[in-house]
Amino acid sequence: MNWYEEAFDEYYLDIYDHRDDDDALKDVMFAKDILELNHKKTLLDLCCGAGRHSVLFSPLVKKVVGYDLSIPLLNVASQNALKQKCKNLFLLRGNMLHLDFNDCFDAVCSFFNSFGYFEKLEDHIKVLTNIYLSLNSGGCFLLDIMNVDYLKNNLIPISKKEIETYVITEKRSIDEHYSIVRKEVLIQLKSDLSEVKKYIESVHFFSKPQITEMLLTVGFEDIIFFGSTDGASVTPYSKRLLVVCKKPN
Ligand SMILES: C[S@@+](CC[C@H](N)C(=O)[O-])C[C@H]1O[C@@H](n2cnc3c(N)ncnc32)[C@H](O)[C@@H]1O
């Protein structure tokens, strides 16, 4: 089994509880402006997870499709969509490697490091190609990935937190040779420290020139970068690399 098939389950939302709806609202407002979203536009929220962005996009556009591989997270997304009465939000399960839409969307977004999960570079190119094909001519893509410079200078090798009945230990390392950041996640019961779950996340990181080359190879144009959702440019202190590009008309 690939790590991304086992990592994103009900525990995931506890591990990443700091990424909440307030962050999502800032992301969505940024995306609305930069992707020029309005009530005539269709949007694909790729790797939507629990749908924290999809439900906020729903009142802003004609239709949102939330696409993800994780059944537990899609279940939470579905409950959120019901709660928020999102009638134009459709949730689909699939692997982005096999994303298969043709000229369907005016915009695609991928938030919070949902890219770089595969072993081979050609699989990442395949995902970008799938995104390109899914867009209408003139459609835009927003990709939110880690900023390599920040990551390298600020890596926290080990951290521990207690959530409800669990202790979660995360050990991080960078493999410069393969441009991979690895995180070993251990979930234990607080009561007796027995192991509940253990897995290793392994995410490829890409520099600005690398991601630019990949996007150009696929056919995208007008590539621009931001370091945060307030529109700031990228510096070594920016935690994120927000990349916006366009499928030609
Ligand atoms: C870091 S989470 C981000 C979730 C969401 N975008 C957010 O900001 O809350 C990555 C998401 O990618 C999904 N995912 C992982 N591998 C995938 C794949 N191969 N195809 C589709 N979705 C995948 C996971 O299930 C998870 O929901």
> Which atom of ligand 1 has the smallest separation from the CA of 112?
8
Query: In which band, very low, low, confident or very high, does the pLDDT at 18 lie, cut at 50, 70 and 90?
Result: low
State residue 14's pLDDT score. Answer: 77
Q: How far apart are CA 60 and CA 101, in angstroms?
A: 22
Q: How many Cα atoms occupy the beta-carbon half-sphere of 121 within 13 Å?
A: 11
d(CA 154, CA 131): 31
Phi, psi of 8, deg, nearest 5: -95, 75
Joined together, the tokens standing for residue 72 give 């537990």
**DSSP assignment of 107-144, as one string?**
EEEE-SS-S--SSSHHHHHHHHHHHHHHEEEEEEEEEE
Instruction: Report which DSSP code applies to 233.
Output: P
**Dist. CA 52 → ligand 1 center (Å):** 12
Task: Tell how far the Cα of 71 is from the centroid of ligand 1, in angstroms.
Answer: 11
Query: CATH 2.20.25 spans which residues of the chain?
Result: 150-203
Angle at CA of residue 247, ends 206 and 117, nearest 5°: 30
CATH 3.40.630.10 fits 3-146+207-246, yes or no: no
**142 Cβ below 6 A of ligand 1:** no
CB 228 within 8 A of CB 242: yes
End-to-end Cα, the chain, rounded Å = 40
Q: What confidence category does residue 15 fall into, taking pLDDT thresholds of 50, 70 and 90?
A: confident
Could you give the C-alpha distances from 171 to 11, 132, 183, in angstroms and in order? 17, 35, 5
Q: Which residue has the higher pLDDT, 48 or 22?
A: 48
Mean pLDDT of 56-71: 98
Sign of CA dihedral 208, 209, 215, 216: positive
Can you give the pLDDT at residue 10?
84
pLDDT at position 88 is 98
Residue 11 pLDDT grade (very low, low, confident, very high; cuts 50, 70, 90)? confident
pLDDT at position 54 over 70: yes
Domain span(s) for CATH 3.40.50.150 in the chain: 3-146+207-246
State the closest ligand 1 atom to the C-alpha of 111, by its place in the atom list counted from 1. 6
Residue nearest to atom 15 of ligand 1 (CA): 4
**CATH architecture entry for 150-203:** Single Sheet (2.20)
Mean pLDDT in residue range 128-153: 97
- Does 96 contact ligand 1 (Cβ within 6 A)? yes
CA of 8 to the centre of ligand 1 (A): 7
Question: How does pLDDT run across 70-81, given as a tens digit for each residue?
Answer: 999 999 999 999
Is the pLDDT at 17 greater than 90? The verdict is: no
According to the model, what pLDDT value does residue 13 have? 83
For the segment 98-135, what is each residue's pLDDT rounded down to a tens digit? Answer: 999 999 999 999 999 999 999 999 999 999 999 999 99
Q: Is the CB of 4 under 6 A from ligand 1?
A: yes
Ligand 1 lined by 69 (C-beta under 6 Å): yes
Summary mean pLDDT of the chain: 95
**E strand or H helix at 4:** helix 3-7
pLDDT digits (tens, 9 = 90+) for 177-232: 889 999 999 999 999 999 999 999 999 999 999 999 999 999 999 999 999 999 99
Please check the confidence at residue 19 and state whether its pLDDT lies above 70: no
Count of alpha carbons within 13 angstroms of residue 159, beta-carbon side = 9
